């Protein structure tokens, strides 16, 4: 085109619409042909002011726990667990000693316990998820397993579908929780958890000016460091499995077209933090350099115990269509 040239914009728009339709169809085809990326077995690391501990998500690979896995990853990848308080170290409940360590709900403006309950601010919440009671799945709230905290149903029971951000780590054989509470993760090493449990705790509800009902479980056994500071989750992030090849963003042991989709879906220069699923170079953002990491290893990395990586034919075909559509777009743009 040259300045001043008469252009038939209706014809140009017609071509552009056609191109968009083609590209959308290719995207849909890619999504349809790529294998689903299972998220079981991923590890989330919680760095606390006392030490680190790791959660292995869905170690039993139970598909009914996928909602719980996705829920945890949603909070982790959004950075909402960062700088939150570990608010409950329940040392004894109904003769069970110790009981649970609970966290994931509150943040504060300072390092010490605020003077009133309003100083504990709840983090932003995503929608509640559907319950998956351990008993129904043949699982149990045993030592080291992790479940989502639930609310009461208003009639003395438990609302199984009320789980959001708050989660607990079992420190005993708490099978009485199995009829209502899911277990969707396992703590790999309880050393840091036990260190937190051994700290002194304070019952904030005993202070009449605090403003919470006496016996409010969220604030009756708040662990404190010797200097009076609360215990915080400083950062939570997904641990990249060193056994997986570079560019294996979905953790299935090979670098394939599904990792491109994982990169594309998590690409954003607005989301900054550790453990982002498509952040192959660990610089805290998902960008073009991570695409290059994937591309450099696509179909050319050995899979542990499986010899050379074999890219599934449908995925490779779908990727070819996607690249072809991009090339067609560039040719079209040059032609106009």
DSSP, collapsed to helix, strand or coil, labels residue 71 as: helix
With CA atoms as reference, report the closest residue to 169 among 100, 91, 221, 99. Answer: 100
Lowest mean pLDDT among 44-53, 122-131, 224-233, 237-246: 237-246
DSSP, collapsed to helix, strand or coil, labels residue 118 as: helix
Residues 6+ apart with CB under 8 A from 116: 209, 210, 211
pTM of the model: 0.64
User: Among the residues of the chain, which ranges form H helices?
Assistant: 9-33, 66-77, 191-197, 257-266, 288-297, 313-335
Q: For the domain 43-236, what is the CATH superfamily, name and number?
A: Cyclophilin-like (2.40.100.10)
pLDDT digits (tens, 9 = 90+) for 61-84: 999 999 999 999 999 989 999 999
Residues 249/262, Cβ–Cβ less than 8 Å: yes
Round to the nearest angstrom and report the end-to-end CA distance of the chain. 7
pLDDT digits (tens, 9 = 90+) for 236-254: 988 865 456 777 777 666 7
**Domain coordinates in residue numbering, the chain:** 21-38+243-335, 43-236
What length does the chain have?
336
Query: What is the token pair recorded at 113?
Result: 């316990």
């Amino acid at each position: 085109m040259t300045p001043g040239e008469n252009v038939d914009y209706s014809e140009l728009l017609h071509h552009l619409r056609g191109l968009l339709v083609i590209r959308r169809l290719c995207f849909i085809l890619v999504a349809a042909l790529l294998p689903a990326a299972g998220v079981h077995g991923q590890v989330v690391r919680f760095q606390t002011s006392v030490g680190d501990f790791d959660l292995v998500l869905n170690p039993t690979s139970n598909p009914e726990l996928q909602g719980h896995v996705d829920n945890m990853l949603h909070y982790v990848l959004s950075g909402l667990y960062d700088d939150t308080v570990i608010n409950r170290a329940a040392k004894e409940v109904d003769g069970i000693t110790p009981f649970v360590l609970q966290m994931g709900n509150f943040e504060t403006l300072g390092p010490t316990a605020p003077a009133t309950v309003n100083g504990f601010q709840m983090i932003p919440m995503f929608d509640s998820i559907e319950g998956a009671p351990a008993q129904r799945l043949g699982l149990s709230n045993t030592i080291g397993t992790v479940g989502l905290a639930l609310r009461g149903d208003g009639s003395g029971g438990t609302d199984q579908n009320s789980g959001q951000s708050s989660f607990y780590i079992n420190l005993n054989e708490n099978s009485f929780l199995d009829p209502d509470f899911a277990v969707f993760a396992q703590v790999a090493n309880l050393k840091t958890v036990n260190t937190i449990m051994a700290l002194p705790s304070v019952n904030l509800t005993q202070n009449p000016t605090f403003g919470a009902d006496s016996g409010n479980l969220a604030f009756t056994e708040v662990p404190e460091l010797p200097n009076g500071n609360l215990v915080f989750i400083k950062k939570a992030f997904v641990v990249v499995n060193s056994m997986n090849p570079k560019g294996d963003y979905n953790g299935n042991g090979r670098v394939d077209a599904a990792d491109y989709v994982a990169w594309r879906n998590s690409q954003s220069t607005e989301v900054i933090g550790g453990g982002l699923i498509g952040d192959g170079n660990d610089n805290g953002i998902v960008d073009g350099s991570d695409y290059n990491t994937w591309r450099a290893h696509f179909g050319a990395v050995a899979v542990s115990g499986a010899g050379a990586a074999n890219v599934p034919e449908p995925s490779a075909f779908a990727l070819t269509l996607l690249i072809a559509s991009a090339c067609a777009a560039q040719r079209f743009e040059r032609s106009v």
